[in-house]
Amino acid sequence: MTQDRALILDFGGVVTRTLFETHDVTERALGLPAGTLTWRGPFDASTDPLWVRMQNREITEREYWMQRTHEVGRLLGEQWTEMKTFVQRARGAEPETVLRPEARDAILAAKRAGCRLAILSNELDLFYGVEFRQRFPLIDQFDIIVDATYTKILKPDPRAYEEVLSLLGIDKENCVFVDDQVKNIEGADAVGLPNVHFDVTRPAECYSRALRMLGIVS
């Protein structure tokens, strides 16, 4: 039985394709020449010293994306002060284009199996904006959304995981948490929450592992 189990997903990078993967979409949307955006984050750390600094915890994830937001805005001669400006200008008109196909398949498989679904994000509305979330495909499949935009409790703070577990009302041993940031996986480990470290370069493999942990064969 899977009705007493839950799949808990980070949003950016896990449910959506990363901005690193959609430079071509961003450049077309903003009218930038092809090849303007060269930072590739986890897909090629050698192109992205700022990403390396974030991975080394010299800066936070929010600080990383705020710097990228400022940089891209300057390319257009504009001053962007909110991360959601970047996302909405780059690809917000068509939220369905950034949904990971592997995420869609896993979400629907978990739902069919009777699992509860939750999002645990540090910056869902801060980054994407309320309108983007409301129009995002499959958002209505989620039973619980815990967003630090409002709670102000960021992963890997133990309270973030405890909040989503409390709202789900399911023992942590029967949940699987998926996140692409090592520090957030370490936070899950610290509270004993089963997890999968999501490799954005191998999404199908990571989702298959998470579903197997929940007893689901996709």
* pLDDT for residue 1: 47
Question: Who contacts 27 (Cβ-Cβ below 8 Å, separation ≥6)?
Answer: 33, 34, 35, 36, 37
8-21 pLDDT tens trace: 999 999 999 999 99
In the chain the domains, ranked by start, together with CATH numbers, are 6-16+99-213 (3.40.50.1000), 23-95 (no CATH)
Question: Who contacts 203 (Cβ-Cβ below 8 Å, separation ≥6)?
Answer: 100, 102, 103
* pLDDT for residue 61: 84
83-120 pLDDT tens trace: 889 988 988 667 888 899 999 999 999 999 999 999 99
* pLDDT for residue 96: 83
Is residue 200's pLDDT more than 90? Answer: yes
- Sorting pLDDT into bands at 50, 70 and 90, what band is 201? very high
* pLDDT for residue 97: 82
Q: Tell me what percent of the residues of the chain surpass a pLDDT of 90.
A: 83
CB 148, CB 121: distance < 8 Å? yes
68-81 pLDDT tens trace: 999 999 999 999 99
- How far, CA to CA in Å, does 190 sit from each of 10, 20, 60, 156? 17, 29, 20, 9
135-189 pLDDT tens trace: 999 999 999 999 999 999 999 999 999 999 999 999 999 999 999 999 999 999 9
CB 42, CB 20: distance < 8 Å? yes
